[in-house]
Amino acid sequence: ERLDIATPKRTKEIINKYGFSFKKSLGQNFLIDSNILNKIVEAAELTPENGALEIGPGIGALTERLAQEAGAVTAVEIDRRLIPILKEVLEPYPHAKVRHDDVLKVDLHQLFREDFSEVEKVSVVANLPYYVTTPIVMKLLEERLPLDNIVVMIQKEVAQRMAAPPGGKDYGSLSIAVQYYCVPELICIVPKTVFIPQPNVESAVIRLKLRDRPAVEVEDEAYFFELMQSCFVQRRKTIANNLRSRYFEGGDRTQLEQLLAEAGIEPSRRGETLSLQEYATLSSVFLKAGI
Ligand code: SAM
């Protein structure tokens, strides 16, 4: 019986065998703890009818586990040096495919057509490279891929921001963007000690369950997101001040007050206290007024 890749012994064996050296610039912190791996895989609720897309497989610790649970697995890895290693460690799993690519550049709809046409649902499961977590998650969501859920290990603070409810310091444009598309759930906090090399920050596993339709109805998504983001440009300022800087520079104070009243929002509130529904209402009122 072979040891899991996600153990210090087997990981070191593989690294030594291939003379692999970690690249910090690619966010290479490999998982060496089977318990954490189990938590990630369980949270994705995979079955043989499901597909799993992994981003950044490293030396295949998580990929191996996904291949044991899911009917089709595709792992996208940017580092060419890892491809022959992955080919070898994944040899026992013919339904696990490795693609050498940058996930931010790859056409994911095409990838889904090619690799996941036979499965019912697809999950993204990954221990993400921390330097590009937000662009990767936003790409997955904005491209409206037919995903069931996304289970990712990311920096703890970023996970807390994604899952934050209105009213606290963690709530901001990332919370709203993620919660527009998903229902987030923090699965567990993960210490630095379960990686080699150890990262500088603590991590967390978060599950994002995709909604059937967005949390709120908006006429113009781009407008909604832009207006919402403008309310966080200066976090300490009131919503009226932020909106004035963005939409009423040097202009009509009374119109802004009227529009906020129409939306039922006190001008003295801060961006971090508004719910998604309030941002949706506000953007609809602004749009109707031709702002
Ligand atoms: N899944 C492995 C594990 O858990 O041990 C490795 C995780 S490591 C945190 C992140 C991985 O993502 C590295 O293998 C790195 O080379 C890869 N990576 C970094 N940027 C990437 C990108 N833009 N596209 C695809 N993979 C990337």
| pLDDT, tens digit (0-9, with 9 covering 90-100), for 68-93 | 999 999 999 999 999 999 999 999 99
| Residue carrying structure tokens 């153990």 | 7
CA 171 – CA 6 distance, rounded (Å):
34
Mean pLDDT of the chain: 96
Q: Give the model confidence (pLDDT) of 143-191 as tens digits.
A: 999 999 999 999 999 999 999 999 999 999 999 999 999 999 999 999 9
Q: Is the pLDDT of residue 2 over 70?
A: no
CA 61 – CA 31 distance, rounded (Å):
7
> For a substitution probing ligand 1, which of 22, 55, 82 has the most ligand atoms within 8 Å of its CB?
55
- CA-wise closest residue to 85 among 22, 18, 16: 18
Q: What stretch of H or E contains 272?
A: none
Q: What is the position in ligand 1's atom list of the atom closest to the CA of 11?
A: 5
Q: Give the model confidence (pLDDT) of 248-267 as tens digits.
A: 987 777 999 999 999 999 99
Strands 121-127 and 149-155, sheet pairing: parallel
| Residue carrying structure tokens 């022959």 | 84
Q: What dihedral do alpha carbons 129, 134, 135, 141 form, nearest 10°?
A: 120
Give, in order, the Cα–Cα distances in Å from 155 to each of 164, 208, 229, 248. 14, 15, 22, 37
CA 169 – CA 278 distance, rounded (Å):
18
Q: Please state, for a pLDDT cut of 90, what percent of the chain lies above it.
A: 94
Q: How many CA atoms lie within 13 A of 186 on its CB side?
A: 17
Contact indicator for 198, 260 with CB cutoff of 8 Å: no
Expressed in angstroms and rounded, the spacing between residue 129 Cα and the centre of ligand 1 is 5
Instruction: Check pocket membership of 77 for ligand 1, CB cut-off 6 A.
Output: yes
CA 36 – CA 170 distance, rounded (Å):
25
Atom 3, ligand 1: residue with shortest CA distance: 30
Encoded tokens for 254: 């009374």
Expressed in angstroms and rounded, the spacing between residue 229 Cα and the centre of ligand 1 is 29
Give, in order, the Cα–Cα distances in Å from 174 to each of 25, 100, 106. 24, 29, 23
Q: What dihedral do alpha carbons 127, 43, 156, 57 form, nearest 10°?
A: 0
Predicted complex ipTM: 0.99
Q: What dihedral do alpha carbons 213, 184, 109, 90 form, nearest 10°?
A: -150
Instruction: Check pocket membership of 28 for ligand 1, CB cut-off 6 A.
Output: yes
Q: Please state, for a pLDDT cut of 70, what percent of the chain lies above it.
A: 99
CA 161 – CA 168 distance, rounded (Å):
10
CA 120 – CA 148 distance, rounded (Å):
10
Dihedral sign for Cα 109, 111, 117, 118, please: negative
Encoded tokens for 145: 């891929």
Expressed in angstroms and rounded, the spacing between residue 291 Cα and the centre of ligand 1 is 43
Contact indicator for 51, 125 with CB cutoff of 8 Å: no
Residue 1 pLDDT class (50, 70, 90 cuts) = low
Q: Is the pLDDT of residue 222 over 70?
A: yes
